């Protein structure tokens, strides 16, 4: 398996634009997580899915953020409208089992909102 | 106050030295994870612990549930071990701030 695949690797956009980040989890994994990492706040869990169903989105900072998982092999994280404070590295990860399965991370998307 | 505390924040060692990174937590856990973030940014899960000790190559992780403390040890450290090591209580969505390890040749 190729591991967790994220795209794009880098995204530069202007404030107010819509941003869509994509993730393909490892086949067979039943949990998918979206994390954000900044220098100030470190790693933060934004939302996670179990079998394509959102379970906990309490980490999503605002209504500008939304995430979907239309099928077992694809998830998106959307920011609309984007703001400079959204600049961060966004990681997607998947696992078999919730908190006790090994977590596999994608390589991340470096987002810069100007 | 972060409910997952790591120490030290930064650590510089000479190649071959024995390394210990500590993690204390104040929340109840089902499992504690140790993550390694390479200088390029990629994150790798090293260990998931709910009790006792685990070993993988030169890496050893231990956890004491009663004392709410975990340690990550690296034996015979090597420059390629240079990375940021993060402990995490994923069930509580808590992450330590990370320990930046630099191993000099």
Please answer yes or no on whether A100 and B31 come within 8 Å at the CB atom: yes
Please state whether the peptide bond connecting residue B10 to the residue before it is cis, i.e. omega within 30 degrees of 0. Answer: no
Please answer yes or no on whether B90 and A89 come within 8 Å at the CB atom: no
**A82 confidence band (pLDDT: 50, 70, 90):** very high
Which ranges in chain A belong to alpha helices (H)? none
A101 chain-B contacts, CB cut-off 8 A: 48
Regarding predicted confidence, which is higher, B9 or B31?
A: B9
Contact yes or no for A75/A92 (Cβ under 8 A):
yes
The first and second tokens of residue A18, run together, are 């819509």
**B41 confidence band (pLDDT: 50, 70, 90):** confident
B100 chain-A contacts, CB cut-off 8 A: none
Which residues from B are below 8 Å from A when comparing CB atoms?
30-31, 33, 35, 41-45, 48, 50, 86, 88, 90-91, 93, 95-98
The first and second tokens of residue A114, run together, are 């100007």
**B5 confidence band (pLDDT: 50, 70, 90):** very high
* Amino acid B27: pLDDT: 76
The first and second tokens of residue A65, run together, are 């953020």
Three-state DSSP string of chain B? CCCEEEECCEEEEECCCCEEEEEEECCCCCCEEEEEECCCCCEEEEEEECCEEEEECCEEEEEECCCCEEEEEECCCCHHHCEEEEEEEHHHCEECCCEEEEEEC
Interface test with B, best of A89, A97, A103, A106 (most B CBs within 10 A): A103
* Amino acid B98: pLDDT: 94
Average pLDDT over residues B52-81: 95
Q: Give the C-alpha distances (Å, rounded to integers) separating A85 from A38, A40, A62.
A: 10, 11, 12
| A10: three-class secondary structure by DSSP | strand
Chain mean pLDDT for chain A: 94
**B2 confidence band (pLDDT: 50, 70, 90):** low
* Amino acid A101: pLDDT: 77
Token pair 């403390």 in the structure block, residue: B69
What does the pLDDT look like over A8-26, one tens digit per residue?
999 999 999 999 999 999 9
Token pair 């590295």 in the structure block, residue: A89
Regarding predicted confidence, which is higher, B96 or B29?
A: B96
Judged against a pLDDT cut of 80, whether residue B30 lies above it is answered with: no
Regarding predicted confidence, which is higher, B83 or B51?
A: B83
Average pLDDT over residues A44-71: 94
Smallest Cβ distance to A43: which of B31, B42, B86?
A: B86
The first and second tokens of residue A56, run together, are 């906990």
Interface test with B, best of A32, A100, A106, A109 (most B CBs within 10 A): A100
* Amino acid A2: pLDDT: 81
**B34 confidence band (pLDDT: 50, 70, 90):** very high
Please answer yes or no on whether B43 and A105 come within 8 Å at the CB atom: yes
How far is residue A97's CA from residue B31's CA, in Å, rounded to a whole number?
12
User: Residue A37's CB: how many other CB atoms inside 10 A?
Assistant: 20
Please answer yes or no on whether B30 and A45 come within 8 Å at the CB atom: no
């Amino acid at each position: 398996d190729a591991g967790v695949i994220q795209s794009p690797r880098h995204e530069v956009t202007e404030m107010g634009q819509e941003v869509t980040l994509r993730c393909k989890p490892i086949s067979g994994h039943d949990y998918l997580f979206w994390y954000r990492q900044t220098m100030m706040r470190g790693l933060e869990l934004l939302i996670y899915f179990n079998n394509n169903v959102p379970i906990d989105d309490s980490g999503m900072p605002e209504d500008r953020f939304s995430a979907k998982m239309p099928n077992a092999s694809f998830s998106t994280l959307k920011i609309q409208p984007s703001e400079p404070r959204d600049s961060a590295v966004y990681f997607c990860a998947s696992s078999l089992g919730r908190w006790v399965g090994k977590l596999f991370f994608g390589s991340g998307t470096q987002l810069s909102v100007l | 106050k972060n409910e997952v505390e790591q120490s030290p924040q930064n650590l510089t060692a000479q190649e071959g030295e024995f390394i210990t990174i500590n993690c204390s937590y104040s929340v109840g856990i089902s499992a504690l994870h140790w993550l390694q973030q390479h200088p390029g940014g990629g994150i790798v899960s090293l260990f998931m612990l709910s009790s006792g000790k685990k070993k993988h190559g030169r890496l050893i992780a231990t956890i004491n549930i009663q004392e709410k403390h975990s340690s990550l040890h690296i034996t015979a450290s090597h420059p390629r071990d240079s990375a940021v090591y993060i402990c995490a209580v994923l069930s509580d969505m808590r992450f330590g701030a990370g320990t930046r390890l630099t191993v000099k040749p």
